[in-house]
Structures are given as structure tokens and as C-alpha cells.
Amino acid sequence: MSVLSSNSVFTSLQQEGPLAVTDDPFIAGRFSTATRQWVKVLQQDANNITKYRALRSQLFEFLGVDSLEQIQSLITDTSLHQKRSERALCLLGNMFGIDGTLKEIKNRVNEYARSADAVVNSIKGKILAPYASHIEATNEIEVTNNPVELLLIMFNGDYHKKARFEARRKLILMTLAGSIDQRERETNIENKFSDFLSFLNGYVWSPNLKIGELDSIYLYSTHRSEDYCCTNVALLTPEEANLVTQGTGEKLTLIKRRSFSVGKKNIPIYVSIRKKPPEAKVLKLLRKNEKNPAVAVDDELGLMAVLDSVSDVKAFQQHLTRSASKADSLMVLEDISDTLVEHTKYRGRATGSSDKTAMMKFFARLGGMRVEFIIHTNQTWLNYMYQKDVAHDEYEVKRMFDTGVIELLFPMNIYHLQHRNTRDEMVRFFRKQIES
């Protein structure tokens, strides 16, 4: 379900419908013509009425008021802001299960605000980089982290429509960041990430290598002109790579590899290990149209590996199972998908994914953790980086636009972006970067 649909859980952020931010804050009289027209629109969807009542109750309770008129009074009475802000922080601390003093709760809420800003900045820095000036946030909103102040800005006619929308957006993203932080504390994700790294260093990687020791190698690849699919790949040392002159449809890609031992054989492996940052998890909640991280974010810990051949991939999978056993844990593989074998199509469920994608993907449950593994051969990884319709940069653009997240965060009537045209232009932009 799209985040732009009428049943979206992010209705309050949609700029189409009765809860949209308008040119002026909603301060019309209770029985005015404008209010009656607004109520008629609201009544077209019974679900919106329920959502509006819930939001209004939360808003009034959070600000400690009983009516919209009192909000206008609170805006002008700055002497009350500190007291209401402290009360609001206590409420948020209890809601998100934050233990500590008022200062500690404030620091945690400030982290949520930084995560909210990071969501917007991550899009501005990559997916919409050529349009950075179009979507730049209002300075006053970027420097405001106080939830009460952000709420009051939403109803303050001295602020432009764009600023009031961004205040609302920041509050919603802060709430998602708070839910993610609560989930991370409940699941003890920081310690699990440390335990996972310790497991890899202690039982998986070759004991002949020091921790963090890597060998540099270059992948010298040729690609089809029509779709930039990798047709051949050779391994070169850095010295050999220096002698190469790249032609049309050729790529020289540096990777730094570890190794693991199977018997007396050392098998090289490129590995990227990651714990999703908060802003990435927030974006995933938006794409999945979910507010519950326990439901939507199932890949908090992840490892991507690249090996020379399919036989090396199978050896690594078996080595993982044996390594887990040495660490006194059974390892169970879940949700296995293997499209490394030729002629097997990828059945990706994610919006924007291509059935041309080749990889092995599974979740491994071991040592109290559930880790996502994505495993490639050199050739499939190069396709994952460069092939038309498969490349990850293209996929990121498509999934952010096609799920409606870009339009939700940067609505056309505020940022004046033609989203369909912008999507296609950004796909072409990344294709040009890849093939240049």
C-alpha cells in the first residue's frame, strides 16, 4: 500500500486531503464557511474523521490545552513555553521508555531530531542531489529540536506554509526515530552488533590474518553496450591494474578482501558489514507504510559478501554453519532465495526491484541474533553495481519514488517538483554516472 493512499498510516503528512498544510493556519471561526467546507471534505472518509479526532486529542494533551484558540494564545505567551516543554519531554520520555533525568530525555529527543534532519539530508545528498536547492529545509526548522516549539510553528501564521509543513514533517520523522530507538534498546542491537563482529573475527575469518587486515584486488570487467551487463571479469593485482587502459564498456573496480579457511585452502572474500543507521530505518518505515519497527525493519544487522565463484559461495555458507557450531550455537537459515544459478529469476517483493537481479539472500539465526546475508559472485556483484535496471543506485531512486516517499516528504504544491519527470531524470543521471 502506497504512503499516498487514503488508508496510509501517514495521512497527517499528505498534502492531498483535509489534513494538508494550507497557506494559512486553520484559525477560522467554528461555524465559518471555510470551516463547514473543511468538515464536508473530512466527512468524505470516515477513517479520516477518526484519525483527526485522535490527532487532535494527542495534540491538545501534549500542549496542555483544550482548544485551537488556546494554541493561538500559547504561541504569543512565550513565558509558558519552557513549562510546557518540560512537561512534554516527560510525556515523551515515558512513551518511549527513556530512563533518566529531564536533561537526559532532552538529549535523546535531540538525537531524534538529528535523525529526522538526516533523513531529509540523505535524500538531498544523493537521490535528489541535483535538486538540493529545491528541497533545502528552512533554517528555522533545522535548528528547532523542541517538539513543543515545532508544534506551535505548525499553527503560527507568521511562518510560511513551507516552514509549517517542514515542522510537521520533522515531528513525524522524530516520532519514527523515537520508535526505532525504543526498539533498538528493547532488542539490545548495539551489543548484538558487537557480538556479531566478535563472532566473525573469532570463528569465521582466517586465523592467519590480523583483525582488519585486507588484501587489495581489482575486478577488470567488460559490459554489454545495450544493458551494461557484465560479460567477463578478471582479477588483477594493483600493479597489473596500473597498466590497464580502460576502453568503452570496461570497468576497473577496487575491492579489499578478507579470507576464510576450508581445510588447507584460503578462500578470498569481500565483505561489507552494516548496522542500519536510524535515518535508513526511518526511510524503510516510510517505504513500508509502517510505524512499527518490529514489523517493517527485519534487517537491522546485515552482511554482504562477494566471492569468486558459486562453489566458493557454497563453501562459505557451509563454513558459516560450522563456525556457528564452534561458537556453541546452531545456525538456522530462513527465507532463503538463491538466483545465482543461471535462468533463475529473482522474485523480489520490494517496490522498484528487478527480476534480473542475481544473488543469494537469506537470514541466519544464531547466537540470539538474526542477520541478513546477501552473497554475490564477482560477476553478479558487478551487475548489482552497474547493470541497467539492476544497479543499486537505480533501485534506490525507483523505490523511493514508486513507493510515494519522495512525494510524501517533498509534495509538489510546496517544492514544485514534477515527481514522475524527476524520477526518470534521476534514473538517467545515475546511469550516466555509472557508464561514464
Q: Which domain holds residue 133?
A: 11-187
Answer for the pair 151, 171: CB distance below 8 angstroms, yes or no. Answer: yes
Measured N-to-C along each axis, helices 68-76 and 46-63 cross at an angle, to the nearest 10 degrees, of 40
Q: Is 71 in the same domain as 210? A: no
Q: Is 110 in the same domain as 134? A: yes
Q: How far apart are CA 405 and CA 398, in angstroms?
A: 10
Q: Is 154 in the same domain as 279? A: no
Nine cell digits for residue 120: 531529509
- Residue numbers of the chain with a pLDDT score lower than 70: 1, 26-32, 299, 342-353
Across the beta sheet with 360-366, what order do the strands follow? 230-236, 215-223, 250-262, 265-275, 301-307, 369-377, 360-366, 332-338
Q: Is 197 in the same domain as 286? A: yes
Q: Is 235 in the same domain as 156? A: no
The sign of the dihedral angle between the CA atoms of 205, 206, 212, 216 is: negative
Q: How far apart are CA 341 and CA 359, in angstroms?
A: 9
Q: What is the pLDDT of residue 347?
A: 53
Q: What is the pLDDT of residue 226?
A: 92
Of 368, 390, 412, the domain-final residue:
390
- The region that residue 92 occupies, defined by phi over 0 for left and psi between -120 and 50 for alpha, beta otherwise, is alpha
Q: How far apart are CA 291 and CA 54, in angstroms?
A: 16
Q: Is 262 in the same domain as 340? A: yes
Q: Is 349 in the same domain as 286? A: yes
Q: Is 178 in the same domain as 196? A: no
| Residue appearing with cell numbers 515515558 | 94
pTM: 0.91
Query: Longest C-alpha distance within the chain, in Å?
Result: 84
Flag whether 425 is in a domain. no
Q: What is the pLDDT of residue 304?
A: 94
Flag whether 157 is in a domain. yes
Alpha helices, DSSP H only, in 307-416?
310-326, 378-386, 392-402, 405-409, 412-415
Nine cell digits for residue 154: 505548525
Tell me how many domains the chain contains.
2
Flag whether 116 is in a domain. yes
| Residue appearing with cell numbers 542477520 | 371
Work out the number of other CB atoms within 10 angstroms of the CB of residue 25: 20
Nine cell digits for residue 429: 543521471
Report strand pairing: 230-236 vs 215-223. antiparallel
Q: What is the pLDDT of residue 349?
A: 56
Q: How far apart are CA 364 and CA 379, in angstroms?
A: 24
Q: Is 105 in the same domain as 249? A: no
Nine cell digits for residue 227: 544493458
Which among 279, 288, 292 has a CA at the least distance from the CA of 123? 279
Residue 159, SS3 per DSSP: coil
Q: How far apart are CA 149 and CA 84, in angstroms?
A: 10
SS (H, E, C) 232-266: EEEEECHHHHCCCCCCCCEEEEEEEEEEEEECCEE
Q: Is 198 in the same domain as 123? A: no
